[in-house]
């Protein structure tokens, strides 16, 4: 019986999705993308999930698109459909109400690097490496460039895209592609620290804030402030914000667990 492409485990408000083709470096095949899309769709509707951790089996995080699968159907319409599917998957990550943390234990290349860039947060093992290496086989990483250029300064993103060269985890940290770099044995502990900090905050504020954050990035500054003001007004009307502010004024811990 074929193993699932993506494994899901839930504990304490955290859904962990694990790419489960470690022996092949977890390529984003049609099947892998479909499995991830289905998992994200379920999670988006699951109020019990507060945080998503995206992990991977094996030595690599994700090697990008499944090139062996891609060359089997050399047709323009097939490729358009494939890359549209991938783009929809990437946007799902951003559109989830829950924060998504990439747990990067190994190499993330091309669309795999794109997946890391699309996650809200990323924690990498010191051994992890990153590249948008499609240019090495004559295929410029155009879709990964969309995510990469929204994380990494322009000239550094272009250097990665034009050369296909790898950067190490510390360089990825310096450039803003990941949030934290730790020893491999500390990876789960560091992810758990981030998760715990997020779980301590009200879900409604996190969801509203995440949605606003990405929307305002694509706007001019005036429109961004207008949307942000509207979002804060709506947020302030929420019971959790009322309780939080009142608790601050009264110098006590907020009673969010009762709300």
Q: Indicate if 89 and 19 belong to the same structural domain.
A: yes
pLDDT tens figures, 25-81: 999 999 999 999 999 999 999 999 999 999 999 999 999 999 999 999 999 999 999
Distance CA 227, CA 231 (A): 6
Confidence band, pLDDT 50/70/90 cuts, at residue 258 = low
Structural domain of 230: 203-258
Q: Indicate if 136 and 244 belong to the same structural domain.
A: no
Can you give the CATH number for the domain in which 189 is found? 3.90.226.10
Q: Indicate if 174 and 49 belong to the same structural domain.
A: yes
Distance CA 226, CA 121 (A): 26
Q: Indicate if 127 and 229 belong to the same structural domain.
A: no
- Copy the structure tokens of residue 115: 């997946």
Bridge-based pairing of strands 6-11 and 14-19 is antiparallel
Q: Which residues contact 107 (CB under 8 A, 6 or more apart)?
A: 25, 59, 60, 61, 63, 128, 129, 130, 131, 166
CA distances from 159 to 112, 173, 229 (A): 18, 16, 37
- What is this structure's pTM? 0.95
pLDDT tens figures, 199-234: 999 999 999 999 999 999 999 999 999 999 999 999
Task: Please provide the size of the chain in residues.
Answer: 259
Give the position of tokens 């470096």. Answer: 25
pLDDT tens figures, 166-209: 999 999 999 999 999 999 999 999 999 999 999 999 999 999 99
């Amino acid at each position: 019986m074929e193993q699932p492409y993506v494994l899901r485990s839930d504990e304490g408000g955290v859904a962990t999705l694990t790419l489960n083709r470690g022996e092949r470096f977890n390529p984003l095949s049609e099947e892998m993308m479909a499995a991830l899309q289905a998992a994200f769709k379920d999670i988006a509707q699951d109020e019990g999930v507060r945080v998503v951790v995206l992990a991977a089996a094996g030595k690599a995080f994700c090697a990008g698109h499944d090139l062996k699968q891609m060359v089997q159907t050399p047709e323009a319409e097939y490729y358009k459909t494939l890359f549209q599917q991938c783009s929809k998957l990437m946007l799902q990550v951003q559109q989830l109400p829950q924060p998504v943390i990439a747990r990067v234990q190994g190499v993330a290349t091309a669309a795999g690097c794109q997946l890391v860039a699309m996650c809200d947060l990323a924690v990498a093992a010191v051994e992890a490496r990153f590249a948008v290496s499609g240019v090495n086989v004559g295929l410029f990483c155009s879709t990964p460039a969309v995510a990469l250029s929204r994380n990494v300064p322009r000239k550094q993103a272009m250097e990665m895209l034009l050369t296909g060269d790898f950067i190490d985890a510390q360089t990825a940290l310096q450039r803003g592609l990941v949030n934290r770099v730790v020893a491999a044995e500390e990876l789960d502990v560091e992810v758990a620290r981030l998760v715990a900090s997020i779980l301590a905050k009200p879900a409604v504020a996190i969801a509203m804030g995440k949605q606003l954050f990405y929307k305002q990035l694509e706007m001019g500054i005036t429109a961004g402030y207008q949307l942000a003001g509207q979002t804060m007004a709506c947020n302030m009307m929420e019971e959790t914000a009322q309780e939080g502010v009142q608790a601050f004024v009264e110098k006590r811990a907020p009673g969010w667990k009762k709300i």
